[in-house]
């Protein structure tokens, strides 16, 4: 027999699609983390803002917790429903609602994929510049909830720079129309920016107006083999001073080995401990010559051991696959992931200290790291040994993460660069945020969500 709260929801919304089959509960109750057993009450798939508002008001009346759900590609447990929550999947709300040629904005529902947004912008001769490897499955609502970054932050910034306005069903059921696409709006607090990166703890994004921009100039992609870690920032500094960079990504020889084993093609002869994929404007011969001169200067300094410039779009895509294919190639190893950031100026010192920590604490365990070195963001993947139990492995990694978090605190960095806090990083939030900041965050949460129904337990634990 169906429980009383769900029966009440069905009476209020007889057309609402509700799922409660075991396979659906497991599928919708987890994200890309696999550390919690999904146990949601049911899955609601609303098709309109009105339905979302009704669900939130019902949840307040019945004191049922809600977990907003997009593409569930998150890596911090932010979309996990493990304690009888109702998952609110926005996948049916996936339409493009409008394009404004004057404002150059695209208004969309939250369940639309990032790839579909890219395609919609392209039909109007423009681009939505936020981009990363999960573009085909992640949703715009989830991108907004985590302030997603990606591979072109060095040129375009994070998601929050590209949200002109959004509609949010707050935790109290009210529909808020935030900023309304204005370029200038100095009329008090910008609640839009509070909602961006809030991981669904303030409300549910139900509509977003995204800023579009001109396509970039013709570009070129270069793969570099580097002889040592110190060369990373030397090459970055030189290339940034000579070229208009669109992206500057690095990975290690260990990461490359996994991508090659997963089907990618080797692009450089020989082995190098570090690699860089960089993309830069190359609209004319002058820009192309500048890139060659920068390469030659770096090689003369001993910072580059080898390199190749893509000679076609297909080769450019193949070079990018060496970087973008890393996460997929590691999935079968159940990696424990860290996603950290620091100021670019701090990166060299942090890299050395971090490498020493990883070598000391993970003897005999393979650690794969890579990232967006041009914006100070590193991804660390610790691969679970086949013989280790998942519980023992996570326990070991959490001990190392405590040390890593303290290191980040000393360097003024963050335990989460772009994946959010969720459940995974919640124990380390106080290494990134002060007690006063966390207290204010709790207070903001109570204003938006007085009954604490919105994604509880994420970011921080609610006080008893």
What CATH number does residue 404 fall under?
Answer: 3.30.70.2740
- The residue among 151, 164, 275, 136 whose CA lies nearest residue 216 is 151
pLDDT digits (tens, 9 = 90+) for 421-458: 999 899 999 999 999 999 999 999 999 999 999 999 99
- The residue among 342, 421, 376, 405 whose CA lies nearest residue 146 is 421
Query: Strand, helix or coil at 416?
Result: strand
Question: In this model, does residue 1 exceed pLDDT 60?
Answer: no
Sheet order of strands, 367-372 included: 306-309, 219-226, 274-281, 245-252, 367-372, 377-382, 336-341
pLDDT digits (tens, 9 = 90+) for 377-393: 999 999 999 999 999 99
Quick one: DSSP state of residue 371?
Answer: E
The answer to whether residues 50 and 8 touch, using CB atoms and an 8 Å cutoff, is: no
Rounded to whole angstroms, how far apart are CA atoms 279 and 249? 9
Tell me the pLDDT band of 75, cut-offs 50, 70 and 90: confident
Quick one: DSSP state of residue 127?
Answer: B
Question: In this model, does residue 226 exceed pLDDT 90?
Answer: yes
Domain boundary among the residues 300, 327, 354 is at 327
Q: For residue 85, what is the domain's CATH number?
A: 3.30.43.10
311 and 348 co-located in one domain: no
**Which two structure tokens, joined as six digits, stand for 124?**
């109007």
The answer to whether residues 383 and 366 touch, using CB atoms and an 8 Å cutoff, is: yes
Residues shown for the chain? 464
- What average pLDDT does range 265-293 have in this prediction? 95
> Could you count the other beta carbons within 10 Å of the beta carbon of residue 426?
17
Question: In this model, does residue 31 exceed pLDDT 90?
Answer: no
Residue 273 lies in a domain: yes
Looking only at the bridges linking them, the beta strands covering 203-211 and 163-170 are antiparallel
Dihedral (Cα; 395, 400, 404, 405), 10-degree rounding = 30
What residues make up the domain containing 78?
4-91
| pTM of the predicted structure, to 2 decimals | 0.91
Rounded to whole angstroms, how far apart are CA atoms 80 and 143? 16
Tell me the pLDDT band of 232, cut-offs 50, 70 and 90: very high
Rounded to whole angstroms, how far apart are CA atoms 103 and 114? 20
> How many degrees, rounded to 5, is the angle at CA 67 between CA 63 and CA 69?
150
Domain boundary among the residues 64, 91, 118 is at 91
45 and 13 co-located in one domain: yes
* 268-302 as b/e: b if 16+ CB within 10 A: beeebebbbbbbbbbeeeebbebbeebbeebeeee
Q: What are the C-alpha distances in Å from 401 to residues 318, 377, 416, 422, 453?
A: 33, 16, 12, 15, 29
Residue 457 lies in a domain: no
226 and 189 co-located in one domain: no
At residue 3, what are phi and psi to the nearest 5 degrees?
-70, 160
pLDDT digits (tens, 9 = 90+) for 95-122: 999 999 999 999 999 999 999 999 999 9
> How many degrees, rounded to 5, is the angle at CA 171 between CA 20 and CA 46?
40
Q: How many domains does the chain have?
A: 4
- pLDDT at position 33 is 83
Q: For residue 232, what is the domain's CATH number?
A: 3.30.70.2190
Non-local (6+) Cβ contacts of 408 within 8 A are: 340, 342, 350, 414, 415, 431, 432
189 and 231 co-located in one domain: no
pLDDT digits (tens, 9 = 90+) for 247-261: 999 999 999 999 999
Query: What are the helix and strand counts (H, E) for the chain?
Result: 15, 16
10 and 83 co-located in one domain: yes
């Amino acid at each position: 027999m169906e429980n009383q709260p769900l029966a009440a929801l069905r009476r209020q919304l007889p057309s609402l699609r509700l799922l409660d089959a075991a396979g659906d509960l497991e599928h919708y109750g987890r994200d890309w983390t696999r550390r919690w057993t999904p146990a949601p009450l049911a899955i609601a798939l609303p098709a309109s803002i009105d339905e979302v508002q009704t669900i939130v008001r019902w949840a307040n009346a019945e004191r049922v917790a809600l977990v907003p759900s997009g593409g569930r590609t998150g890596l911090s447990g932010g979309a996990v429903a493990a304690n009888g929550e109702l998952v609110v999947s926005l996948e049916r709300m996936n339409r493009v609602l409008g394009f404004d040629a004057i404002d150059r904005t695209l208004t969309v529902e939250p369940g639309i994929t990032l790839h579909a947004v890219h395609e919609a912008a392209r039909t109007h001769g423009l681009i939505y510049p936020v981009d990363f490897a999960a573009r085909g499955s992640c949703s715009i609502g989830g991108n907004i909830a985590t302030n997603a970054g990606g591979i072109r932050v060095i040129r375009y910034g994070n998601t929050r720079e590209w949200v002109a306005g959004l509609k949010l069903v707050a935790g109290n059921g009210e529909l808020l129309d935030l900023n309304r696409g204005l370029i200038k709006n100095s009329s008090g607090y910008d609640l839009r920016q509070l909602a961006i990166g809030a991981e669904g703890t303030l409300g549910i994004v139900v509509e977003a107006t995204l800023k579009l921009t001109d396509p970039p100039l013709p570009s070129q992609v270069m793969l570099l083999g580097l002889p040592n870690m110190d060369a990373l920032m030397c090459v970055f500094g030189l290339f940034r001073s000579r070229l208009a960079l669109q992206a500057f990504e690095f990975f290690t020889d260990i990461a490359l080995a996994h991508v090659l084993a997963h089907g990618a093609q080797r692009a450089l002869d020989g082995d190098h401990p570090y690699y860089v994929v960089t993309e830069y404007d190359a609209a004319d011969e002058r820009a192309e010559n500048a890139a060659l001169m920068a390469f030659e200067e770096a090689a003369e300094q001993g910072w580059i051991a080898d390199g190749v410039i893509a000679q076609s779009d297909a080769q450019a895509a193949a070079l990018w696959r060496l970087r973008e294919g890393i996460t997929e190639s590691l999935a079968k190893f159940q990696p424990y992931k860290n996603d950290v950031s620091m100021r670019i100026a701090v990166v060299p010192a942090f890299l050395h200290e971090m490498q020493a920590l990883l070598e000391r604490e993970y003897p005999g365990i393979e650690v794969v790291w890579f990232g967006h070195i041009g914006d100070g963001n590193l991804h660390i993947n610790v691969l679970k040994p086949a013989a280790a139990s998942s519980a023992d492995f996570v326990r070991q990694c959490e001990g190392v993460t405590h040390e890593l978090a303290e290191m980040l605190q000393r360097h003024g960095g963050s335990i989460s660069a772009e994946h959010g806090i969720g459940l995974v990083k919640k124990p380390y939030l106080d290494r990134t945020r002060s007690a006063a900041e966390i207290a204010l965050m709790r207070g903001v949460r109570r204003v938006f969500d007085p009954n604490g129904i919105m994604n509880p337990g994420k970011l921080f634990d609610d006080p008893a």
